[in-house]
Structure 1
């Protein structure tokens, strides 16, 4: 069909005539298709190879469907391309129109996509993004796939975040924050590549289970285990706050417990640089009301104690298999959070005094009444957990209740996703 198109329609020469008018003149074309060697299919058409008849030079032909409904948008690409003459922009050589298709004859640009070029260049030659990546996480801020370290075969994670004119500032902020972070309990950034459409963050692959799922795997778990994981979280938060960084999404879903019970904090898509003179807008952090601090609901913005509240909520869930407040969303839930009406009756029986005191302080409604991460780590209850030297008999909690909580949470998340779509 394309051979017939090229024979029937002539290139619009650009002497002030429209493409349609030029195409009515059926003289011998200067460019014809020879043997098709390769084709790729994009969103707006199919790209193949063609040959310049007089010289044998290879060019690319982009074939775009042309219908009555799409002709205006289809011809717009031609009208734009014929105006462009720049070193860094693909050049248009000719165009042919048939009743079914528009064929754009373009400069053949041989090479690699930017990300793949960077991944094999001298600076990043140790990294190679898999040609057939396996998607294993789709989050709010991007898609996470697997990639391989070329020299060793070591698996890493690549987080691909959409990059647009509107989102570029917030997208690049995650990169600028991650490159500052070097801590045992924080996911490590290995490299980053930028294309016009995406930012690719090459990250340490943290294999394991989410914190709550890790605790729920056996018959029971102990208060000592909870304290040890909280000590690791707070150690990371102390480090982040020392760098003037707020995570602002310290839910259990953003943690992974790897081998040897090492906890890692993931997903810095919500993270912000903290400046005491600048209010961080709370509008970005309203996805999960159950874990939102009172100051965010009041519209006061995020501050370091906001992260402490989130840690307190996670601690409460581990020590009760329930949220600190009513599970029902809506105005009543927000009122309870703002007033700090914590339902301590939901906690497991037998909790130590240290555990209760930690929850009371971390979930204090006035943010400036909450302890800092450094102050939390100095509490005797958490010092004993970090050093694992507690001598009293451990208190155990049934994992079945936590598994039930996780099922309810998953159902609620699925229902919320369906309502948004």
Structure 2
């Protein structure tokens, strides 16, 4: 009887000890919930597909851990709609308990999220919305919007002028004589489209071009024949604009070829989706875009790894930029843990404001960046990153057979710009 009691006591002691061990182990592991807003469904779902692969690859590279914190990603489907994005973000805060937010895309979504992150005091790090409306709102009250971190994409006007410079350079060196100096401006009817196109329009006007028309359309529209026919009849030499909806943009390119347009086409963002060429084919030949290229061995290996793991070739913008910013986020999180000993909202906010936004923490090629030379913010550039050839900069490229070659600026040029005859 005594032996039975002794054995029972040992069993009980074992379970008590084991239970305590398990509890201690569970308590030792902490969780960092990262909310990531992306268009997982809808007309820009390819952006979400690229973002998911990029984020997973970056976080898997650190075994989804920062110090003694396990990273738990909470995906927030924006559906490319500001109202739906803010509702989903609020649910992620209230019901899923996210601690910090990283990334989003579409300027209209970014503008809407600014108020939400301020309300909940959730730091949003490296959102990719670019439109000038974001800058205006942020600069109107930097203290209120201090939880909205530096943008992952600068105001469009800081990049858009490159197209005009490239064309004017071709005119000056005698490689192109436009039949007319008329340009048609087209764009999606969003904050991004209007901001980009307004800057593009100013750049052409400053260079002495006549604006034939300025047209905005839904980024879901796929029938462009009437608009393109108007441009052909108007004998414009350049058609310049942007549409982020993949089906809409690729349809625009295909239909321009079908009706025999000879004008130079600037399609900013055509290459953002990894499968764009399968949707345009040879009709995309001669099209100009501004997009970084996967040129280094490290960048090419990253792209091949994504293709092997997820079955598609990622876009430098929709995938490569997100991969770099995800790793920048990791660098920031490590600094937060080093400085504060924990990864709570207030600690992230402190490092974001005092070290990221002031340029004390940057992310560069030596850190492992595969797209830009260096991602850096300064008090003067905020909320934009620093734009320069050694920092955030897009070359002008021209597509042939699905591949883009740099045609401007000259110091980066891979081939001369070519024109339809």
TM superposition score normalised by structure 1? 0.26
Higher helix share: 2
